[in-house]
Amino acid sequence: MTYEHILITRQGPVGIITLNRPEALNALNHALTSELSAAAGVLDDDGEIAAIIVTGSDRAFAAGADIKEIKDKSFAEVYEEQFITATWEGIARLRKPTIAAVSGHAIGGGCELALMCDIIIASETARFSLPETTIGIIPGAGGTQRLTRLVGKAVAMDMILSGRVLTAEEAVPMGLISRVAPAGTHLVEAIALANHIAVSSRPIVRLAKEAVNKAYETHLQEGLYVERRLLYSTFALDDRREGMNAFAEKRRPQFHNR
């Protein structure tokens, strides 16, 4: 497939999607989010790809939804076309590990897009904000839900009601992001992490991702039940046997992703 607003590259087992609307600071219009969702699905189905990175430019990961595109829409229009749900949520539904490599502005929908990924690695120049209330709307791509689950009610309220901007350094102890990288190295670090994940058994990584997401989505007892069932299911995999045998024999495992 060819894309107008994103770039797709592959580095071994790592698929990289780069948002590419530099003239609009990667503002997320319908065309871009449709391409992003489609490309992410292709990489998720690609047997050669073990992890997926979403990134932008050094100046901006993504400067939110494209306001020029949506400012004149009516309730009926956004409801009928399932604005956001129809295209944006594709990243959140991927089975493979996803990493957001963020530099510069991650504003509104850009912040929410990063939150849809499993891990966020941010340049020290990254800035995160959800300023939707300042222009008469509210976050609608998971910001009120995912952010609150990560940083707690007080910080989420502060960011969403006041438009507070978090630096990368502030975001780490709050649990919003995983790591801060020196300026210009965030993508390099994300690729290194993706390659490290790619060494492990892919079905087992998917099971682990499913278990963590269940903790994020449900109460403790239900999460423990799911975790236990997923653990038991690893005993049906050749890779589980290989991993344990390799540990016992003090050698590096040779996984075959089955």
Residue positions annotated with a catalytic role:
65, 109, 112, 132
Q: Is 196 exposed, middle or buried (0-12, 13-18, 19+ CB in 10 A)?
A: exposed
Cβ–Cβ under 8 Å, residues 103 and 54? no
* Alpha carbons 190 and 255: distance in angstroms, whole number: 22
Chain centroid, CA 239 distance in Å:
26
